[in-house]
Structure 1
Amino acid sequence: MRILIFGMSGIGSFIGGALARAGADVYFYVRGKNREAIEKEGLHVTSEILGDFKVWPKGMGQDGKSFGKMDVIFLACKGNGLINACHDMDPMVGNSTVVVPLLNGVLVSDLMAPLLPPCFIADGTIRVFSHMEKPGHVVQTAGSGKVVMGMKDGKNRPILYDLADILQKAGIPAEVTDDIRLDSWEKYALMGTNSALFCLFDGPAGKVRRQENYRKIVAEAVEEVITVARAQGVIFPETYKENYLALFDSLPGDTVTSLYRDLKDGKKTEDTETEMILGRMVKMGKEAGVPVPCFEKAYEKAALRTRGHALSGVHSEHDLKEQSDAQIIVSRFPFRCEG
């Protein structure tokens, strides 16, 4: 099975490193200094799960035509790079290729379908906290590393089960589910709602919790996601909202999401996942006829950056913890999303 890792950032490098060490027929689509470092010294993996090691893939580069058609492609880019990624993947996608996106958002397959040639586009989630310490060196510090994947219609192809077996043998827990829609929505409800709240109040969890009646607003925000999902035929567990509220109450005060951190660091809105995480919920709400005022206001505040306004920052929380959405999911969510 020829497997391509497209996007050698924290997630892609973690998966690619595990597969390469296990002897899988894995290839890296990588460019720039990251590629130079891996070509020279190999991919250095430092992982709480996998250990510390260096590996080389079967091949690497940034010319899709040179790779040929792949059996499986793991897509691990950021949401704002999705269109360009699909364009660059085109030469490697054949009629039987299975593409598994592992990025923030909900049911990313819906967005990818019109961007790729005929193939099989699954959906996937991963529970891991990993980042690039420097070019060629990925560090994984938290989370089970579990990958959950499946076809949106529940008609999972045999290759997905073979892929899960390969991941398991490489040290990465993996599962093929008949209900990836619920798994994807549950992850999005956590990550998306947190992002909306942090943008709405311009600060981390501690600042949100200092607001009057904050729990009412938190409940309203997550209910917006649950209601839009219901309009699409996805039913959350009855305990989800209360569990989410308990989670939010327990988050360290300096917890932020990657979207808020990017905006706080001064990135332009178009260079962040604002559209993927906030804008898409606003769009889905309008399409379903479901009001989503919390997400609309958060989206509006994030979009102000394109007009020269910066998020004001957090005056009483000077050091924002570098904590990814996935880390929150795997280490603190006490129900089905647990990896």
Structure 2
Amino acid sequence: MKILVVGAGAVGGYFGARLEQAGRDVTFLVRPARAQQLQRDGLRILSPHGDLTLKPKIITAQEIVSAYDIIFLSVKAQALDQAIKDMTPAVGPQTMIYPVLNGMRHIRTLTKAFGERAVLGGVCIVIADLDEQERIVQIAPLQKLTYGELNGEITPRIRALDDTFRDAGFDTELSANITQEMWQKWVMIASLGLVTCLLDGPIGEINAVPDGQQTVLQAIDECVAVATACGFPPPQSLIDNILKQATLKDSKLTSSMYRDLKKGAHVEVDTILGDLVDYGHSYQVEAPLLQAGCVRLRVYQNTLKSTSEKR
């Protein structure tokens, strides 16, 4: 199957490279500046599973001339509208759009743009970042893609996608309940993102101070309560896993939101925390830490925007 990876950042670049390394037909849709850098340096990965440098097939929006079978959509939330414009010529009647964005808002946006049939549900688990040399650095060994039809059916096309992604150097799962899986990831990243951004430090440093762990536990409780009120209660096994990660006093664990914050980059506050706050209000769920974290990051975002406009 012909795969178009939209975005060659930490997520799309990593999984797209592994797919190409496994012999799949992969093309990366990138912006002109990233295209020049990839042509010059190649797509470079530093990983516990083995380093990799390859010269990927790349394309810009103006060069798309035909539809693809699978579109692997891995951009940040703030880039979604532009990505939709760029990838529209690559979407045909049989194209499957596999998004791995955080939260749930992007599903509504994509189905509005391309129709319900085109859009799959997806969850990506990987901890990776771009370094100052534009290399993809995988920080921890976790690497998994989960996918499924939003209506839960196991269709021939989702089996074909599963066949394409499976045995490509990372873990995969075909899910009959992908919406629940997406909510579970949302609770996890919101919990870790909330505490590290609001309290401004790695998990271990937060837990090492008086009342730190209690604040972490309250933040997790709030995120779980909102998901439960919305009809997607996380299983106890997931809650236990979050608690295990979030209560270690010697942990250097951070979140992608926190790393973006520290780099002075755009943070996905609205899709990760803001939407949860709105759902909480809708269901009368008290979530003061979640609300405070959202306000803190929106103030940061406005300051960032204001500074950028003055330059």
Give the TM-score, by structure 1 length. Answer: 0.79
> What pairs with 1:116-155 in structure 2 (closer than 5 Å)?
116-117=114-115, 119-133=117-131, 137-155=135-153
Mark the CA change 1:156 to 1:95 in structure 2 (over 3 Å): closer, same or farther. farther
What whole-Å deviation, never above 9, does each CA across 1:123-164 have from its counterpart, x for those lacking one?
212222333346674343532322111123212432222222
Mark the CA change 1:84 to 1:190 in structure 2 (over 3 Å): closer, same or farther. same
CA distance in 1, matches of 2:189, 2:126: 13
Gaps spanning 5+ residues in structure 2: where? 305-311
Q: Which stretch of structure 1 is more off in the superposition, 233-242 or 223-232?
A: 233-242
Mark the CA change 1:36 to 1:280 in structure 2 (over 3 Å): closer, same or farther. same
Which of 155, 158, 166 is equivalent to 2:156? 158
Given that 2:42 and 2:53 are in contact with CA atoms closer than 8 Å, whether structure 1 keeps it comes out as no
Given that 1:8 and 1:29 are in contact with CA atoms closer than 8 Å, whether structure 2 keeps it comes out as yes
Deviation of 1:166 (Å): 2.0
What whole-Å deviation, never above 9, does each CA across 1:51-93 have from its counterpart, x for those lacking one?
5342433xx2222562422211001111221222122222222
Q: Which stretch of structure 1 is more off in the superposition, 253-262 or 183-192?
A: 253-262
CA distance in 2, matches of 1:108, 1:308: 25
1:281 aligns to 2:279 (yes or no) = no
Deviation of 1:197 (Å): 1.3
Which of 277, 297, 300 is equivalent to 1:302? 297
> What pairs with 1:316-327 in structure 2 (closer than 5 Å)?
none
Deviation of 1:117 (Å): 4.8
> What pairs with 1:180-329 in structure 2 (closer than 5 Å)?
180-250=178-248, 252-267=250-265, 271-306=266-301, 308=303
Deviation of 1:240 (Å): 4.0
Given that 1:70 and 1:92 are in contact with CA atoms closer than 8 Å, whether structure 2 keeps it comes out as yes
Mark the CA change 1:197 to 1:164 in structure 2 (over 3 Å): closer, same or farther. same
Gaps spanning 5+ residues in structure 1: where? 310-339
Deviation of 1:30 (Å): 1.3
CA distance in 2, matches of 1:98, 1:251: 43
Given that 1:8 and 1:28 are in contact with CA atoms closer than 8 Å, whether structure 2 keeps it comes out as yes
CA distance in 2, matches of 1:89, 1:79: 15
Mark the CA change 1:186 to 1:308 in structure 2 (over 3 Å): closer, same or farther. same
Mark the CA change 1:180 to 1:23 in structure 2 (over 3 Å): closer, same or farther. same
- The amino acid that maps onto 2:170 is I
CA distance in 2, matches of 1:65, 1:55: 18
Q: Count residues in correspondence.
A: 305
Secondary structure at 1:234 match in 2: coil
Secondary structure at 1:169 match in 2: coil
Secondary structure at 1:37 match in 2: helix
CA distance in 1, matches of 2:264, 2:134: 26
Given that 1:149 and 1:180 are in contact with CA atoms closer than 8 Å, whether structure 2 keeps it comes out as yes
- The amino acid that maps onto 1:149 is Y
What whole-Å deviation, never above 9, does each CA across 1:241-287 have from its counterpart, x for those lacking one?
344223212264543212123223334xxx32111111111112122
Deviation of 1:307 (Å): 5.3
CA distance in 2, matches of 1:239, 1:56: 39
> What pairs with 1:99-118 in structure 2 (closer than 5 Å)?
99-106=97-104, 108-117=106-115
Which residue in 1 is equivalent to 2:8?
Answer: 8
1:91 aligns to 2:86 (yes or no) = no
Higher relative contact order (CA 8 A, sep 6+): 1
- The amino acid that maps onto 2:30 is V
Structure with more helix by fraction = 2
Give the TM-score, by structure 2 length. Answer: 0.86
CA distance in 2, matches of 1:186, 1:251: 24
- The amino acid that maps onto 2:259 is R
1:35 aligns to 2:35 (yes or no) = yes
